[in-house]
Structure 1
Amino acid sequence: MKILHIIHKPQNRGAETFTCQLSHHLLKLGHEVKIVAIYEGCANLPYSPTIENLMASTSKKVIDIPAWKKLAKIVKNFNPDIVQANSGDTLKYAVLSKIFFRWKIPIVSRNASEVGRYLNSFFQIRLNKFLYKNVDWIISVSQESKKDILNHFPFLATKIEIIPVGLEKNVDIDFIQLYPLEKKHLVHVGGFSFEKNHFGLLNIFELVIKEEPQVHLHLIGDGPLKMQFIKEVQNRGLEGEITFYGFVSQPLPYIKSANVLVLPSIIEGLPGVLLEAMYCKTPVIAYNVGGISEVINSKTGTIVEKGKELLFAQGIIKIMTDPDQDQIAYAHKMVNSNFMNDQLALSFVNSYQKIIGLK
Structure 2
Amino acid sequence: MKVLHVLDTGDFSGAENVAITIISYLEKHDMAQCVYLSPKGPIEDYLAEKNIDFYGVDKLNFSSLKKALAIVKPDVIHVHSFKSAVILALLNPKGKFVIHIHDNPEWLKHVNAKSILFLKACKRADRILTVSDAIEYEFFYSDKVFEKIENIGNPINDGKIIRLSNKPIFFERKNKNQLNHGALSSGGKRYNPKYDFDMIYVGRIEEEKNPFLLAKIINELCDMNPSIRIGIVGDGKLRDKFFSKIEEYYRENNITYFGCLENPYPIIKRSKSLVLPSLSEGYATVVAEALILGVPVVCSGVGTMLDVIDDKCGKICSFSDKAYVAEISRLTTDEIYHHRKVKATLERGRRLGNIREYYRKIRKLYNEMVDQGDFILSRYQNRL
Per the TM superposition, whether the score is higher than 0.5 is yes
Match of 1:165 in 2: 154
Counterpart CA distance in 2 for 1:273 and 1:224 is 20
Task: Find the aligned partners of 1:287 and 1:71 in 2 and give their Cα distance.
Answer: 40
Greater shift in the superposed pair: 348-357 or 274-283: 348-357
**Per-residue deviation, residues 320-357 of structure 1 (Å, max 9, x unmatched):** 32122331221221123x3x3x4412211112334445
Of residues 293, 300, 307 in structure 1, which corresponds to 2:306? 293
Contact 1:178 1:185 in 2 (8 A): no
* 8 Å Cα contact 1:188-1:220 kept in structure 2: yes
User: Shift of the alpha carbon at 1:118?
Assistant: 6.0
Q: CA deviation at 1:255?
A: 0.5
Give 1:257 shift: 1.0
C-alpha distance in 1, partners of 2:25/2:229?
38
Number of the residue aligned with 1:317: 329
- 2:23 is aligned to 23
The farther-off stretch of 116-125 and 84-93 is 116-125
- Looking at structure 2, the residues matched to 355 and 301 of structure 1 have their Cα atoms a distance apart, in angstroms, of 40
Counterpart in 2 of 1:137? Answer: 127
CA RMSD of aligned residues (A): 2.7
Q: Structure 1 residues 355, 228: closer, same or farther in 2, change over 3 A?
A: same
Distance change >3 Å, CA 75–CA 266, structure 1 → 2: same
Partners of 1:186 and 1:334 in 2: CA distance: 24
Residue 331 of structure 1 corresponds to: 348
Counterparts of residues 26-45 of structure 1 (less than 5 Å): 26-43=26-43, 44-45=45-46
Deviations, residues 181-206 of structure 1 (Å, cap 9, x unaligned): 6x852111112211121210121123
In the superposition, relative to structure 1, how do residues 302 and 218 fare at CA in structure 2: closer, same or farther (>3 Å)? same
| Partner AA of 1:41 in structure 2 | G
Deviation at 1:126, TM superposition (A): 2.8
Distance 2:220 2:59 in 1: 44
The 1:159–1:312 alpha-carbon spacing in structure 2 relative to 1, beyond 3 Å, is: same
Aligned match of 1:350: 364
Q: Report the secondary structure of 2:24's partner residue.
A: helix
* Residue of structure 2 equivalent to 1:243: 256
Alignment length (residue pairs): 339
User: 1:265 aligns to what?
Assistant: 278
Which letter maps to 2:325?
A: A
Residue of structure 1 equivalent to 2:87 = 93
Q: Distance in 2 between matches of 1:21 and 1:358?
A: 22
Q: Percent identity?
A: 22
Contact 2:11 2:41 in 1 (8 A): yes
Distance 1:298 1:262, change over 3 A: same
Q: 1:275 is matched with which residue: 267, 288, 292?
A: 288
Aligned mates of 1:94, 1:358 — CA distance in 2: 24
- Residues 202-240 of structure 1 deviation map (CA, whole Å, 9 limit, x = unaligned): 211233333344422111122221122222111111121
Length-normalised TM-score, structure 2: 0.80
2:216 matched to which residue of 1? Answer: 203
Name the counterpart of 1:50: 53
Counterpart amino acid of residue 216 in structure 1? R
| 8 Å contact kept, 2:36–2:52 | no
The CA distance in 1 between the partners of 2:232 and 2:38, in whole Å, is 29
Determine the structure 2 residue equivalent to 1:148.
Answer: 138
Q: Which letter does structure 2 place at the counterpart of 1:204?
A: I
Matched, 1:12 2:29: no
Superposition deviation, residue 241 in structure 1: 1.5
The within-5 A match list for 1:103-122 is: 103=94, 105-117=95-107, 122=112
Distance 2:360 2:65 in 1: 30
Query: What is the DSSP-based 3-state SS (H/G/I as helix, E as strand, rest coil) of the residue aligned with 2:147?
Result: coil
CA contact (8 A) 2:197 2:231 kept: no
* Secondary structure at 1:10 match in 2: coil
Q: Give secondary structure in 2 for the equivalent of 1:89.
A: helix
Task: Please list the CA deviations of residues 231-270 of structure 1 after superposition, one character each: whole Å capped at 9, or x if unmatched.
Answer: 2111111121222222222111110111111111112111
Structure 1: distance between partners of 2:295 and 2:347: 12
**8 A Cα contact 1:196 1:265, kept in partner:** yes
Q: CA offsets, 1:80-107, max 9 Å, x none? A: 2x3211115221232222x2xx51x221
172 and 50 in structure 1: CA distance in 2 versus 1, 3 angstrom threshold: closer
> For residue 379 of structure 2, what is the aligned residue in structure 1?
none
